[in-house]
Structure 1
């Protein structure tokens, strides 16, 4: 099938946490015979900070963030068998959801793919006239990369026909064990952009833990932290491109995951970092959230913390031998049940079944 996918960016992970998810999902769908065209705006300096060049498995259309260019790319939705509008494009989001669905052929499969369902729901729930709210009844699916039962119920209450979580996963060809690199050495490494609904939890789980262990080394990667006061044992390194994520995860005793406020409250929302760390065989420490046990077992495949004191205690008592055992167990669990090959098979089956239903109805 021809898939027209309108998202934030496939080529750049710069201020774009969905890049790894897009790449893993769309690469697998292309391998199953689908032809993917990805439309991304030239915005937020992402094209100046590409992690990859246009891949062989997708046609990438970079368009100017102007109304004229927008009209051109929206019109191309008419050529597709599947039209996907993702959340968080960042420019013309309202115009895109209305425009591409209007341009889509009557027999096309229409999908809104939400890569931040808690934030999207918080925005649209109190706004009956929101462009996405108006579009929901006409969509075949809302797909989300997390959220579980609470998100499904919320979307269906707002008029979505069907909401199905397609969780984050691992691409083992991209994220895997590599030799450690001294530039990323530390006792606890943490990779996250500075965002308003994550910062307090970063203070609680990462900075507080660092302050409790002044003799240990903490490494912070990600955008936006340059003017944030830090304990002296925290070293900031700024944006870390996806090509360096494996080394970032394998070069420390442990790595940290901290969910954003909304995702922690909703649960069932494993971040990309969880699967990247597991794929590299890293020992992951994560904040607690409902649904974690669907992906990793506490104490054996992941260490769970309820606050900064818990994080500090894990770091203080963790030996290299135990860290290695936890990392290897996590990698085995994720490879067995949570790869993009599995997620792609799920989406492929959904698309083929829906196409058959539409043909029968016609």
Structure 2
């Protein structure tokens, strides 16, 4: 019989997507685990003004514990978390990450699991492989599992090369409760929209795939969403709408003719790392154009369910040829695929099977032969 698990999860934030791209990922996974009967407590630090920019109130599908930035409180919460069946430390918590990575390993017992969940595996792997004295190198083999937000076989190989007992990608997906087709919204009208915060390892690709095409297509309107772009020099046909709250993502995806996905440098390098917004856009029935990365066909069929551009010139060519009818056709095909194979229920089922297999006592060879 399946056991309902108590899961302690230390992550960046589940209630605020403010400068926190993992929020919708956490929400989707945790909500689906709750539907399966598991009890999740999510521990998050009160940093970066995220609590002032919440997207949601404390949800009914998990217990949220926000802690101040001090180790005394955190140690008390770790003692509480030690009673859980599964204890997860996510990468990029933003406060006391090194401390937490070691502290969670110390909570390992015979009847529990300790898991490192890497939501930015390329960055972590680059860090530890370039610095053999990084303390995390010694901790990797002590976790029961390393789960990753993406990366496919290249990331699995890299983590296992660095001592991981087992590395399993749990890819982004669609949360059908929050992302779905809606009516268009006038302020998001345009030929192409891109949503993403300004980050150093993505800015050059944004210039190539979004800003340069906009400059070469002055008659078309481009929509830019996300934080940090205010002082960036851009063509006049780009409208910067600033931070787009989660509640407005559906309209942002549904309204323009097409939406653009641009990978960060590290994600593009490893491949097999579709951003959350790829599935959000598909779940809204949007026509999605993405920069090329290895493994796209694992998730969507290029040319039918998604359009792929290897550089800015190809983005321009796609926009020049893309009719409203074709965009709608591609959006419908992507919507059908994401519902069939890429929801968070699919991802949580995989996670549950991995955890249950490890926690459930295995019959001995005598019993197996009876």
Residue 41 of structure 2 aligns with which residue? Answer: 37
Does the alignment pair 1:108 with 2:135? no
| Paired residues, number | 360
CA contact (8 A) 2:104 2:114 kept: no
Across the aligned residues of Structure 1 and Structure 2, the Cα RMSD in angstroms comes to 1.2
Does the alignment pair 1:149 with 2:153? yes
Q: Give the secondary-structure state (helix, strand or coil) at the position aligned to 1:196.
A: coil
TM-score relative to the length of structure 2: 0.95
Give 1:348's match in structure 2, choosing from 352, 356, 364: 352
CA contact (8 A) 1:222 1:240 kept: yes
TM-score relative to the length of structure 1: 0.97
How far apart are 1:59 and its partner, in Å? 0.2
How far apart are 1:309 and its partner, in Å? 1.0
Does the alignment pair 1:188 with 2:192? yes
Give 1:88's match in structure 2, choosing from 65, 70, 92: 92
How far apart are 1:123 and its partner, in Å? 1.1
Does the alignment pair 1:245 with 2:249? yes
Residue 287 of structure 1 aligns with which residue? Answer: 291
How far apart are 1:296 and its partner, in Å? 0.7
**Worse-matched range after superposition: 208-217 or 69-78:** 69-78
Residue 333 of structure 2 aligns with which residue? Answer: 329
CA contact (8 A) 1:116 1:145 kept: yes
Whole-angstrom CA distance in 2 between matches of 1:204 and 1:76: 48
Whole-angstrom CA distance in 2 between matches of 1:317 and 1:198: 26
Whole-angstrom CA distance in 2 between matches of 1:107 and 1:358: 13
Does the alignment pair 1:121 with 2:131? no
Whole-angstrom CA distance in 2 between matches of 1:136 and 1:349: 22
CA contact (8 A) 1:2 1:82 kept: yes
Whole-angstrom CA distance in 2 between matches of 1:267 and 1:204: 19
Whole-angstrom CA distance in 2 between matches of 1:120 and 1:342: 26
How far apart are 1:359 and its partner, in Å? 9.8
Does the alignment pair 1:62 with 2:66? yes
Whole-angstrom CA distance in 2 between matches of 1:281 and 1:87: 31
Does the alignment pair 1:27 with 2:28? no
Give 2:302's match in structure 1, choosing from 298, 314, 317: 298
Gaps of 5+ in 1: none
1:12-43: CA deviations, max 9, x gaps? Answer: 00000001110000100111111100000000
Residue 18 of structure 1 aligns with which residue? Answer: 22
How far apart are 1:103 and its partner, in Å? 2.9
Residue 52 of structure 1 aligns with which residue? Answer: 56
Does the alignment pair 1:171 with 2:175? yes
Gaps of 5+ in 2: 365-370
4+ long deviations beyond 6 Å: none
How far apart are 1:104 and its partner, in Å? 4.1
How far apart are 1:352 and its partner, in Å? 1.1
1:137-167: CA deviations, max 9, x gaps? Answer: 1111000110001100000011100000111
**Closer, same or farther: CA 273–77 of 1 in aligned 2, 3 Å:** same
**Worse-matched range after superposition: 169-178 or 102-111:** 102-111
Whole-angstrom CA distance in 2 between matches of 1:266 and 1:358: 36
Q: Give the secondary-structure state (helix, strand or coil) at the position aligned to 2:259.
A: strand
How far apart are 1:125 and its partner, in Å? 1.4
**Worse-matched range after superposition: 64-73 or 46-55:** 64-73
